[in-house]
Amino acid sequence: MKIQSWLVTEPNTPMVLESREETPGPLEVLVQVKGCGVCHTDLGFYYDGVPTRHPLPLTLGHEISGVVVEAGEGAEDWDGKTVIIPAVIPCGKCEACLSGHGSVCPDQIFPGNDVHGGFATHVKVPALGLCPVPELPSAIALEDLAVIADAVSTPYQAVIRSGLSEGELAIFVGVGGVGGFGVQIAKAFGAHTVAIDVDTQKLELMKAHGADLCLDPGATDFRTMKKEIRAFAKEIGIPTWRWKIFETSGTPQGQQTAFGLIGHGTHLSVVGFTPKKIELRLSNLMAFDATAQGNWGCLPNYYPAVLDLCLQNKITLAPFIEHRPLSSINETFEDLHAHQVERRVILIP
Protein backbone atom coordinates (compact mmCIF):
# COMPACT_ATOMS: atom_id res chain seq x y z
CA MET A 1 0.00 0.00 0.00
CA LYS A 2 1.14 3.55 -0.72
CA ILE A 3 1.53 5.44 2.54
CA GLN A 4 2.68 8.90 3.59
CA SER A 5 4.88 9.74 6.55
CA TRP A 6 6.78 12.68 8.04
CA LEU A 7 10.52 12.09 8.02
CA VAL A 8 13.17 13.58 10.27
CA THR A 9 16.19 13.89 7.99
CA GLU A 10 18.41 15.54 10.58
CA PRO A 11 17.78 16.95 14.07
CA ASN A 12 16.26 20.40 14.29
CA THR A 13 15.40 20.54 10.60
CA PRO A 14 11.73 20.64 9.52
CA MET A 15 10.27 17.19 8.91
CA VAL A 16 9.33 16.39 5.33
CA LEU A 17 6.38 14.44 3.98
CA GLU A 18 7.33 11.43 1.88
CA SER A 19 5.40 8.65 0.16
CA ARG A 20 6.54 5.07 0.12
CA GLU A 21 5.23 1.57 -0.43
CA GLU A 22 4.67 -0.56 2.71
CA THR A 23 3.76 -4.25 2.80
CA PRO A 24 3.49 -6.19 6.06
CA GLY A 25 5.80 -9.20 6.22
CA PRO A 26 5.10 -12.45 8.10
CA LEU A 27 3.53 -11.81 11.55
CA GLU A 28 3.33 -8.07 10.78
CA VAL A 29 0.39 -5.74 10.22
CA LEU A 30 -0.14 -2.39 8.55
CA VAL A 31 -2.15 -0.08 10.80
CA GLN A 32 -4.00 2.95 9.51
CA VAL A 33 -3.15 5.61 12.09
CA LYS A 34 -6.16 7.31 13.73
CA GLY A 35 -4.08 9.29 16.20
CA CYS A 36 -0.45 9.54 17.31
CA GLY A 37 0.52 11.38 20.51
CA VAL A 38 3.58 13.62 20.68
CA CYS A 39 5.88 12.66 23.56
CA HIS A 40 8.75 14.39 25.35
CA THR A 41 10.95 11.60 23.91
CA ASP A 42 10.11 12.69 20.35
CA LEU A 43 11.26 16.22 21.25
CA GLY A 44 14.48 14.73 22.69
CA PHE A 45 15.19 12.94 19.39
CA TYR A 46 14.30 15.99 17.34
CA TYR A 47 15.80 18.88 19.33
CA ASP A 48 18.41 17.46 21.69
CA GLY A 49 20.11 15.07 19.28
CA VAL A 50 19.21 12.01 21.40
CA PRO A 51 20.11 9.34 18.80
CA THR A 52 17.34 7.09 17.48
CA ARG A 53 18.31 3.40 17.35
CA HIS A 54 17.52 3.35 13.61
CA PRO A 55 19.60 5.98 11.83
CA LEU A 56 17.88 9.03 10.30
CA PRO A 57 15.92 9.62 8.16
CA LEU A 58 13.16 8.22 10.35
CA THR A 59 9.49 8.89 11.08
CA LEU A 60 8.97 9.50 14.82
CA GLY A 61 5.85 8.76 16.89
CA HIS A 62 5.19 5.89 19.30
CA GLU A 63 1.75 6.61 20.79
CA ILE A 64 -0.49 5.11 18.18
CA SER A 65 -4.07 3.93 17.89
CA GLY A 66 -5.65 2.82 14.64
CA VAL A 67 -7.15 0.09 12.52
CA VAL A 68 -5.35 -2.89 10.95
CA VAL A 69 -5.87 -2.56 7.18
CA GLU A 70 -3.44 -5.20 5.93
CA ALA A 71 -2.05 -8.28 7.64
CA GLY A 72 0.96 -10.41 6.76
CA GLU A 73 1.21 -14.17 6.82
CA GLY A 74 0.28 -15.56 10.23
CA ALA A 75 -1.31 -12.29 11.40
CA GLU A 76 -4.54 -12.60 9.38
CA ASP A 77 -6.69 -12.70 12.53
CA TRP A 78 -5.84 -9.03 13.14
CA ASP A 79 -7.19 -7.81 9.80
CA GLY A 80 -9.85 -5.12 10.37
CA LYS A 81 -9.24 -4.95 14.14
CA THR A 82 -9.11 -1.69 16.06
CA VAL A 83 -5.90 -1.53 18.10
CA ILE A 84 -3.49 0.35 20.32
CA ILE A 85 0.16 -0.27 19.40
CA PRO A 86 2.43 -0.60 22.46
CA ALA A 87 5.32 1.89 22.45
CA VAL A 88 7.68 -0.95 23.36
CA ILE A 89 7.03 -4.24 21.59
CA PRO A 90 9.14 -7.09 23.05
CA CYS A 91 9.93 -10.04 20.75
CA GLY A 92 8.22 -12.51 23.09
CA LYS A 93 10.68 -15.35 22.51
CA CYS A 94 14.16 -14.38 23.76
CA GLU A 95 15.59 -15.24 27.18
CA ALA A 96 14.69 -11.80 28.57
CA CYS A 97 11.08 -12.05 27.34
CA LEU A 98 10.60 -15.61 28.55
CA SER A 99 11.84 -14.72 32.03
CA GLY A 100 9.43 -11.75 32.33
CA HIS A 101 11.96 -9.05 31.42
CA GLY A 102 10.32 -7.99 28.15
CA SER A 103 11.04 -4.31 28.88
CA VAL A 104 14.74 -5.01 28.31
CA CYS A 105 14.24 -7.38 25.37
CA PRO A 106 17.25 -6.79 23.08
CA ASP A 107 15.04 -7.42 20.04
CA GLN A 108 12.21 -5.08 21.11
CA ILE A 109 10.64 -2.77 18.57
CA PHE A 110 9.92 0.81 19.50
CA PRO A 111 8.05 2.53 16.64
CA GLY A 112 9.62 5.88 15.82
CA ASN A 113 12.97 4.68 17.18
CA ASP A 114 13.75 1.19 15.79
CA VAL A 115 11.35 1.43 12.84
CA HIS A 116 9.25 4.18 11.22
CA GLY A 117 6.67 5.48 13.68
CA GLY A 118 3.17 6.86 13.76
CA PHE A 119 3.47 10.40 12.38
CA ALA A 120 2.15 8.93 9.17
CA THR A 121 -1.02 7.73 7.48
CA HIS A 122 0.02 4.12 8.22
CA VAL A 123 2.60 2.27 10.27
CA LYS A 124 3.97 -1.27 9.91
CA VAL A 125 4.47 -3.15 13.20
CA PRO A 126 4.64 -6.72 14.55
CA ALA A 127 1.20 -8.09 15.43
CA LEU A 128 2.53 -9.53 18.68
CA GLY A 129 1.50 -7.37 21.62
CA LEU A 130 -1.18 -5.31 19.86
CA CYS A 131 -3.94 -4.32 22.28
CA PRO A 132 -7.40 -4.95 20.80
CA VAL A 133 -9.94 -2.18 21.41
CA PRO A 134 -13.58 -3.17 21.94
CA GLU A 135 -16.48 -1.16 20.54
CA LEU A 136 -16.21 2.27 22.16
CA PRO A 137 -18.88 4.36 23.89
CA SER A 138 -19.65 7.54 21.92
CA ALA A 139 -17.84 9.70 24.52
CA ILE A 140 -14.48 8.04 23.79
CA ALA A 141 -12.81 8.38 20.39
CA LEU A 142 -10.26 5.85 19.11
CA GLU A 143 -7.73 8.62 18.40
CA ASP A 144 -7.83 9.66 22.07
CA LEU A 145 -6.71 6.17 23.09
CA ALA A 146 -3.38 6.79 21.33
CA VAL A 147 -2.01 8.27 24.57
CA ILE A 148 -2.50 4.92 26.30
CA ALA A 149 0.49 3.64 24.31
CA ASP A 150 2.92 5.56 26.49
CA ALA A 151 1.63 8.45 28.59
CA VAL A 152 -0.90 6.24 30.41
CA SER A 153 0.65 2.76 30.26
CA THR A 154 4.15 3.77 31.34
CA PRO A 155 3.08 5.22 34.72
CA TYR A 156 0.77 2.18 35.07
CA GLN A 157 3.73 -0.21 34.89
CA ALA A 158 5.70 2.05 37.28
CA VAL A 159 2.79 1.93 39.75
CA ILE A 160 2.57 -1.88 39.46
CA ARG A 161 6.32 -2.26 39.98
CA SER A 162 6.32 0.05 43.00
CA GLY A 163 3.85 -2.30 44.66
CA LEU A 164 1.55 0.64 45.45
CA SER A 165 -1.44 -0.60 47.38
CA GLU A 166 -4.61 0.80 48.81
CA GLY A 167 -4.15 3.45 51.49
CA GLU A 168 -0.52 4.18 50.60
CA LEU A 169 0.92 7.54 49.55
CA ALA A 170 1.77 8.18 45.87
CA ILE A 171 3.74 11.34 45.10
CA PHE A 172 4.10 12.48 41.48
CA VAL A 173 6.75 15.04 40.65
CA GLY A 174 5.60 16.63 37.38
CA VAL A 175 1.95 16.20 36.41
CA GLY A 176 1.93 17.29 32.77
CA GLY A 177 1.14 14.23 30.62
CA VAL A 178 2.57 11.06 32.17
CA GLY A 179 2.33 12.28 35.79
CA GLY A 180 -1.23 13.54 35.35
CA PHE A 181 -2.32 10.07 34.25
CA GLY A 182 -0.15 8.57 37.01
CA VAL A 183 -2.08 10.47 39.70
CA GLN A 184 -5.35 9.09 38.32
CA ILE A 185 -3.96 5.54 38.21
CA ALA A 186 -2.73 5.79 41.81
CA LYS A 187 -6.15 7.08 42.85
CA ALA A 188 -7.81 4.16 41.06
CA PHE A 189 -5.54 1.87 43.12
CA GLY A 190 -6.96 3.48 46.28
CA ALA A 191 -3.84 5.49 47.18
CA HIS A 192 -3.61 8.98 48.67
CA THR A 193 -2.02 11.26 46.10
CA VAL A 194 0.30 14.26 46.00
CA ALA A 195 0.84 16.25 42.78
CA ILE A 196 3.90 18.47 42.49
CA ASP A 197 4.37 20.83 39.55
CA VAL A 198 5.64 24.33 38.82
CA ASP A 199 2.63 24.89 36.55
CA THR A 200 -0.32 26.05 38.68
CA GLN A 201 -2.79 25.40 35.84
CA LYS A 202 -1.76 21.74 35.78
CA LEU A 203 -2.16 21.56 39.55
CA GLU A 204 -5.68 23.03 39.28
CA LEU A 205 -6.59 20.32 36.77
CA MET A 206 -5.18 17.61 39.05
CA LYS A 207 -7.28 18.86 41.96
CA ALA A 208 -10.33 17.87 39.93
CA HIS A 209 -8.76 14.57 38.82
CA GLY A 210 -7.53 12.66 41.81
CA ALA A 211 -4.86 14.75 43.56
CA ASP A 212 -5.42 15.08 47.32
CA LEU A 213 -2.59 17.53 47.86
CA CYS A 214 -1.17 19.88 45.19
CA LEU A 215 2.16 21.63 45.69
CA ASP A 216 4.03 24.21 43.61
CA PRO A 217 7.79 24.04 44.26
CA GLY A 218 8.12 27.44 42.57
CA ALA A 219 6.02 29.07 45.30
CA THR A 220 7.86 27.63 48.30
CA ASP A 221 11.31 26.33 49.24
CA PHE A 222 12.04 22.61 49.24
CA ARG A 223 12.16 22.25 53.06
CA THR A 224 8.74 23.81 53.51
CA MET A 225 7.28 21.59 50.78
CA LYS A 226 8.80 18.49 52.36
CA LYS A 227 7.33 19.52 55.73
CA GLU A 228 3.90 19.91 54.14
CA ILE A 229 4.07 16.42 52.67
CA ARG A 230 5.24 14.96 56.00
CA ALA A 231 2.39 16.73 57.81
CA PHE A 232 -0.12 15.40 55.26
CA ALA A 233 1.29 11.86 55.55
CA LYS A 234 1.17 12.08 59.35
CA GLU A 235 -2.44 13.23 59.27
CA ILE A 236 -3.47 10.18 57.21
CA GLY A 237 -1.08 7.90 59.12
CA ILE A 238 1.24 6.79 56.30
CA PRO A 239 4.89 6.15 57.29
CA THR A 240 7.66 6.85 54.72
CA TRP A 241 8.07 3.14 53.96
CA ARG A 242 4.59 3.31 52.43
CA TRP A 243 5.51 6.28 50.23
CA LYS A 244 5.94 5.67 46.49
CA ILE A 245 7.51 8.61 44.68
CA PHE A 246 7.27 8.88 40.89
CA GLU A 247 9.61 11.21 39.00
CA THR A 248 7.51 12.06 35.98
CA SER A 249 8.83 15.52 35.08
CA GLY A 250 11.92 14.41 33.19
CA THR A 251 13.76 17.52 34.45
CA PRO A 252 16.88 17.87 36.64
CA GLN A 253 14.88 19.99 39.14
CA GLY A 254 12.16 17.36 39.34
CA GLN A 255 14.73 14.63 39.88
CA GLN A 256 16.32 16.62 42.72
CA THR A 257 12.91 17.09 44.31
CA ALA A 258 11.94 13.43 43.94
CA PHE A 259 15.25 12.16 45.35
CA GLY A 260 15.13 14.74 48.15
CA LEU A 261 11.74 13.47 49.33
CA ILE A 262 12.98 9.92 49.97
CA GLY A 263 12.55 8.77 53.57
CA HIS A 264 13.07 5.45 55.35
CA GLY A 265 11.93 2.58 53.15
CA THR A 266 10.54 4.82 50.39
CA HIS A 267 10.29 3.56 46.82
CA LEU A 268 11.36 5.97 44.06
CA SER A 269 10.38 5.27 40.49
CA VAL A 270 12.22 7.14 37.71
CA VAL A 271 9.72 7.49 34.86
CA GLY A 272 10.68 10.79 33.18
CA PHE A 273 13.74 11.23 30.98
CA THR A 274 16.28 14.02 30.68
CA PRO A 275 19.75 13.72 29.11
CA LYS A 276 20.99 16.16 31.81
CA LYS A 277 22.85 15.02 34.93
CA ILE A 278 22.21 15.88 38.56
CA GLU A 279 24.39 15.60 41.63
CA LEU A 280 22.99 13.55 44.48
CA ARG A 281 24.11 11.52 47.49
CA LEU A 282 23.35 8.00 46.31
CA SER A 283 24.15 6.68 49.79
CA ASN A 284 20.82 8.10 50.95
CA LEU A 285 19.32 4.94 49.46
CA MET A 286 21.55 2.89 51.76
CA ALA A 287 20.97 5.05 54.83
CA PHE A 288 17.19 5.03 54.32
CA ASP A 289 17.01 1.41 53.16
CA ALA A 290 15.16 2.90 50.19
CA THR A 291 14.67 1.67 46.63
CA ALA A 292 15.13 3.49 43.33
CA GLN A 293 13.89 1.85 40.16
CA GLY A 294 13.79 2.85 36.52
CA ASN A 295 10.97 2.05 34.14
CA TRP A 296 11.09 1.64 30.38
CA GLY A 297 7.67 1.59 28.73
CA CYS A 298 5.03 -0.95 29.71
CA LEU A 299 4.70 -4.64 28.91
CA PRO A 300 1.96 -5.29 26.32
CA ASN A 301 0.18 -7.70 28.69
CA TYR A 302 -0.74 -4.76 30.99
CA TYR A 303 -2.41 -2.79 28.17
CA PRO A 304 -5.88 -4.36 28.43
CA ALA A 305 -6.05 -3.41 32.15
CA VAL A 306 -4.98 0.16 31.36
CA LEU A 307 -7.55 0.42 28.58
CA ASP A 308 -10.17 -0.89 30.98
CA LEU A 309 -9.42 1.88 33.52
CA CYS A 310 -9.94 4.42 30.72
CA LEU A 311 -13.18 2.80 29.56
CA GLN A 312 -14.46 2.78 33.16
CA ASN A 313 -13.61 6.50 33.41
CA LYS A 314 -11.22 5.84 36.28
CA ILE A 315 -8.68 7.53 34.04
CA THR A 316 -10.05 10.59 32.25
CA LEU A 317 -8.28 11.46 29.02
CA ALA A 318 -10.25 14.36 27.51
CA PRO A 319 -9.08 17.29 29.71
CA PHE A 320 -5.45 16.23 29.24
CA ILE A 321 -5.31 15.96 25.46
CA GLU A 322 -5.60 18.19 22.42
CA HIS A 323 -6.14 17.21 18.77
CA ARG A 324 -4.18 18.78 15.96
CA PRO A 325 -3.90 17.82 12.29
CA LEU A 326 -0.82 15.75 11.44
CA SER A 327 0.03 18.34 8.77
CA SER A 328 0.80 20.80 11.62
CA ILE A 329 3.61 18.55 12.88
CA ASN A 330 6.49 21.01 12.44
CA GLU A 331 4.51 23.86 14.00
CA THR A 332 3.30 21.60 16.82
CA PHE A 333 6.84 20.48 17.68
CA GLU A 334 7.88 24.16 17.79
CA ASP A 335 4.96 25.00 20.10
CA LEU A 336 5.75 22.08 22.40
CA HIS A 337 9.43 22.97 22.46
CA ALA A 338 8.50 26.55 23.40
CA HIS A 339 6.23 25.17 26.19
CA GLN A 340 3.21 26.81 24.61
CA VAL A 341 0.96 23.77 24.89
CA GLU A 342 -0.69 22.69 28.14
CA ARG A 343 -1.98 19.30 27.03
CA ARG A 344 -0.73 16.14 25.36
CA VAL A 345 -1.07 16.71 21.61
CA ILE A 346 -2.52 13.94 19.46
CA LEU A 347 -1.76 14.39 15.77
CA ILE A 348 -4.57 13.24 13.50
CA PRO A 349 -3.72 12.17 9.93
List residues near Zn ion by CB under 5 A.
Answer: 39, 41, 90-91, 94, 97, 105, 107, 150
Cα(295)–Cα(157) distance, integer angstroms: 8
Q: Nearer to Zn ion by C-beta: 72 or 90? A: 90
Nearer to Zn ion, 113 or 255 (CB): 113
Tell me how far, at minimum, the Cβ of 86 lies from Zn ion, in Å: 11
Work out how close the CB of 171 gets to Zn ion at its nearest, in angstroms, rounded to a whole number. 22
Q: How far is the CB of 91 from Zn ion (least distance, A)?
A: 3
| CB-nearer residue toward Zn ion: 24 or 117 | 117
| DSSP state at residue 104 | G
Nearer CB in complex with Zn ion: 217/300: 300
Min separation Cβ 45 and Zn ion, Å: 10
What distance in Å separates the CA atoms of residue 123 and residue 115, rounded to the nearest whole number?
9
Q: Count Cα neighbours of 185 within 13 Å in the Cβ-side half-sphere.
A: 30
DSSP string, 292-322: EEE--S--GGGHHHHHHHHHTTSS--GGGEE
Q: How far is the CB of 173 from Zn ion (least distance, A)?
A: 18
Please, which residue, 40 or 187, has the CB nearer to Zn ion?
A: 40
Q: Which residues of 241-269 are buried (b: 16+ CB within 10 A; e: fewer)?
A: ebbbbbbbbbbebbbbbbbbbbbeebbbb
Nearer CB in complex with Zn ion: 39/169: 39
Q: Minimum Å distance from CB 62 to Zn ion?
A: 6
Sequence letter at residue 180:
G
